[in-house]
Structure 1
């Protein structure tokens, strides 16, 4: 049975219809994926949704995923022609390309690295207080060339970076795994960040943002990481990193938190430190605990600070399209942006069929794409299509505008692009019933039939 989706623009009174209006559909079962759908008149019983461009919220940076070591190794390992085709598809901004405009790098190893390393490793018991051994050499074979290729395709790509651990010799326990930053290493660690940012800038990769610790409430037992309380993070930023960046004339923004929605008090604690607040640009959130509404609560407390969503992974805990696509669309593409996120990042851009390469950590994570290393075959996963519902259409500099949902089964978000086009994403939460909708923008009405569990992007 063929699914029919109706979408059309009707003029109110004598107003002429727009010259171009388009709609793309992904069904909840994944049988149709960002499929162009025909325009037909709206149904008379449609539920009403209002889009109001006069109510303006955050200006968007972009959507994307992290170029981890695993992602870099897999993409760099492809043959030149298919690699170029994949990169154009992911980062290109022509019609039909994914249009990713935001990415995240790891400062040293994460769990998705085949070895555990920092950019200044020393033998056990030895230290390098002058950072003479500092080098980004571990990234030169894969991560760095992939990022540079992405920037060549999309020069407006925004890059951020996050560390999983300081060098082992800066930590209690002298290990990348566990421990915490030694009090006498705070100044050195700030210099380490400066060296990293300078080294990447010298390669033509300027970091727009960074965080100082990935998931600082979690100390993993099989890959680099550490706990770092909010008050101590604030002291590091206010007394060490912020002044070091200023002295080096580096304007990279510092984002606090970089962990789940369930600890709103932590970034509030960090910003209660006046010295840190001077240098903290905003806050970064992950999806693995709490509720997306924490973002709006933070924004209400600090409307002058930026909000970003910086990590969520698909995986075996959300098998199949119905669970995985629904969660990604509802919580991230709609939920996170409606709650003030200027940028939305998923976790690994690419993984292999065994959820690697990796050393420790998640053994059933899913990348935006899966690459078979022996053949170079690429599978575009449900996260690819969920991202595409906004990344293909919402351009850098777009502003989120008001979209009123009058029915609990339908969730929406809308944006006004710099070229004055309007983009709206609508999702039918119900897994059983299709809904007829009437989307109103200015003096125009857009009618559509939204299948159960489906998402539609409208560009007006």
Structure 2
């Protein structure tokens, strides 16, 4: 008997779903027969009717109608290797060992939802409903009873009910060129940024807003790097710029890096040409770094990350100080806890030098005092270290690339830097700078920080080499394709590419209810009508493009169910933002 037929006080005996029942359901779905599931829910009887929909060669539609509750949860089990390609009129999440359990909750768009399933070589299996419940939690499978409809529907509908707010694809989905997989996740993004001048005056408030703001003509940087002078009277220099960065941007982090300790504390008695910190001054140095954090806080600036040393494996003729990996471990182990209200970073080596960071990671106390692993990109790729840092990943320490500067496309006084259409400058921007951002993200790193944000070869001009001070340069627009759209807290997710999309270098992210793909096309050919497969029905898609002739320009998109079609010009970088 169904729930509506029960006499008062009658309780239906609990029945477990058997393998035979599950097999029968799959067969009925394959035949397009309606299947009803009923259960006793708090809001009264809730039933789910499953109807087979339109079938194509490589995929098929299924519609589920829920009766008896405005708020509902349905659990669907898929048969590998089949995968759900899109869902409409419901909010779906995936679980199970290979993402083969789909839980769909009501999203206010009606009492019916549908989904498209890719066969992936298995054309006979059909999904199994394992739970149908009112409310936001699935019912236990043991309490679900089944009643099979005796007749098939007169015609299998090819779309969701007319009253639904959204509909499935009106044309057969195309073969995808890029398929986003939200079930497989990687690193959480901390941000993309640049440094204020380490020596000299800071950015103006207007310049800071251009660099960290997220509006039109702004670049969206979310990390600002600054120096810690060995002379405390110089700390005030960057206060205004750092305050403006915190006020003008969203979730902007400040990274403070010292180039040297005071000269009297060093073995060479000099700020420059390297030299080591004397061990009997370790506690003084910890106090010095802590005093800097305290001072900045008193000025209204939170210092989120403090590095122990900039490039401890380099001794140039400017401010510098040398450390070995063992010395860094000893300092962080014994003194790290004295630097409060911030997180510590080691070691900002020239080329992500593991010898500087492994000792700290391998020491439990030093490791616990460390928040981040940092390194620079000079020679890192050649050294084979532009890749995942296994030891840092093992101990869940985010890796930041905290400095890179490459500008060999033209001379230091050449006006080519001010020419947005200069081929050599654009080629360097795309093939060196943007390529290494993409590689850093693929390596699982959480941040990429360029050298100075304001310089003739950088993101905004400094008034030299023909540039206008404060005006956005081509390299800034290109960098914003990451910085402005991939925000702190976003998580990188997996994707697969077709042969057609193989020339593209792509990373995908999810956050704020959106999916973002940064697409780098360094090839000499456009990839036209590339089909992006999202995990759910797409309600909005925005594509922004920077090329030699365009600056973060909007591009046309076409939406079909859970697919978005875009064209990617040759020698370009674009960001596709998808709202499901």
TM-score (norm 2): 0.59
Aligned: 1:101 with 2:194: no
Per-residue deviation, residues 127-147 of structure 1 (Å, max 9, x unmatched): xxxxxxxx3x3242x421111
Q: Is the 8 A contact 2:534 2:563 kept in 1?
A: yes
1:448 is matched with which residue: 566, 569, 574?
566
Q: Is the 8 A contact 1:295 1:336 kept in 2?
A: yes
Structural mapping, 1:237-276, within 5 Å: 237-240=332-335, 242-245=336-339, 250-261=340-351, 263-276=353-366
Q: What is the CA distance between 1:93 and its match in structure 2?
A: 2.5
Q: Is the 8 A contact 1:62 1:100 kept in 2?
A: yes
Per-residue deviation, residues 265-294 of structure 1 (Å, max 9, x unmatched): 431222223331121112112111122754
Q: What is the CA distance between 1:264 and its match in structure 2?
A: 2.6
Q: Is the 8 A contact 1:260 1:285 kept in 2?
A: yes
Per-residue deviation, residues 42-88 of structure 1 (Å, max 9, x unmatched): 9x998722111121222222211111245x72634xxxxxx53x333
Aligned: 1:287 with 2:381: no
* Aligned match of 2:459: 368
Aligned: 1:412 with 2:516: no
Aligned: 1:143 with 2:238: yes
* Aligned match of 1:20: none
* Aligned match of 2:203: 75
* Aligned match of 2:180: 51
The separation in 2 between residues aligned to 1:56 and 1:405, in whole angstroms, is 17
RMSD: 3.1
* Aligned match of 1:358: none
* Aligned match of 2:426: 321
TM-score (norm 1): 0.73
* Aligned match of 2:213: 92
2:280 is matched with which residue: 184, 187, 205?
184
Structure 2 residue matching 1:341: 3-state secondary structure:
coil
Q: Is the 8 A contact 1:314 1:367 kept in 2?
A: no
Q: Is the 8 A contact 2:344 2:369 kept in 1?
A: yes
Q: Is the 8 A contact 1:49 1:439 kept in 2?
A: yes
The separation in 2 between residues aligned to 1:12 and 1:175, in whole angstroms, is 73
* Aligned match of 1:426: 519
Q: Which one has the bigger helix percentage?
A: 1
The separation in 2 between residues aligned to 1:439 and 1:422, in whole angstroms, is 11
Q: What is the CA distance between 1:383 and its match in structure 2?
A: 2.8
Greater alpha carbon shift after TM alignment, 161-170 vs 319-328: 319-328
Greater alpha carbon shift after TM alignment, 432-441 vs 268-277: 432-441
1:298 is matched with which residue: 374, 390, 393?
390
- The structure with higher relative contact order (CA 8 Å, sep 6+) is 1
Q: Is the 8 A contact 2:314 2:350 kept in 1?
A: no
Greater alpha carbon shift after TM alignment, 421-430 vs 259-268: 259-268
Q: Which runs of 5+ in 1 are unaligned?
A: 1-10, 18-41, 77-82, 109-117, 120-134, 354-365
Q: Is the 8 A contact 2:352 2:374 kept in 1?
A: no
CA pair 315-414 structure 1, distance change in 2 beyond 3 A: same
Q: Is the 8 A contact 2:223 2:254 kept in 1?
A: yes
Per-residue deviation, residues 401-457 of structure 1 (Å, max 9, x unmatched): 11224555211111111x211110011132356465322111522222222221111
Q: Is the 8 A contact 2:392 2:398 kept in 1?
A: no
Q: Is the 8 A contact 1:69 1:143 kept in 2?
A: no
Q: What is the CA distance between 1:169 and its match in structure 2?
A: 0.8
Q: What is the CA distance between 1:251 and its match in structure 2?
A: 3.3
Per-residue deviation, residues 234-264 of structure 1 (Å, max 9, x unmatched): 1011012x1312xxxx231111121244523
Q: What is the CA distance between 1:314 and its match in structure 2?
A: 3.4
Aligned: 1:174 with 2:278: no
Q: Is the 8 A contact 2:527 2:570 kept in 1?
A: yes
Q: Which runs of 5+ in 2 are unaligned?
A: 1-58, 63-86, 90-170, 411-423, 537-561
Question: How many residues are matched?
Answer: 372
Structural mapping, 1:5-16, within 5 Å: none
Q: What is the CA distance between 1:301 and its match in structure 2?
A: 5.1
Structure 2 residue matching 1:378: 3-state secondary structure:
coil
The separation in 2 between residues aligned to 1:424 and 1:324, in whole angstroms, is 19
Per-residue deviation, residues 76-105 of structure 1 (Å, max 9, x unmatched): 4xxxxxx53x33322222355322211111
